[in-house]
């Protein structure tokens, strides 16, 4: 916990925060991109979920 608190003031933390902030602003200003990213994340989640369910169903065979 103390390590994380110390790194918050570091240059690497600030650079990562700034990059994340800029990417977030860019996505927020492009609604089509936000919808596309949401669709990709949703499809990826469903794909992983189907793989997990298939593993569970075929576990004893």
**pTM for this one?**
0.57
Give the whole-angstrom CA distance, residue 56 versus residue 61. Answer: 10
Give the whole-angstrom CA distance, residue 53 versus residue 59. Answer: 10
Question: Residue 2: which pLDDT band, with cuts at 50, 70 and 90?
Answer: low
Residues 5-49 have pLDDT tens digits of 556 667 777 888 888 899 889 888 998 988 999 999 999 999 999
- Do residues 27 and 34 make contact, with C-beta atoms less than 8 angstroms apart? yes
Domain ranges of the chain: 2-57
């Amino acid at each position: 916990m103390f390590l994380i608190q110390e790194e918050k003031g570091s240059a690497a933390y600030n650079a990562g925060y700034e990059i994340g902030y800029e990417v977030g602003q860019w996505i927020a200003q492009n609604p089509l991109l936000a919808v596309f990213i949401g669709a990709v994340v949703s499809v990826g989640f469903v794909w992983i979920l189907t793989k997990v369910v298939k593993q569970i169903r075929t576990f004893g065979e």
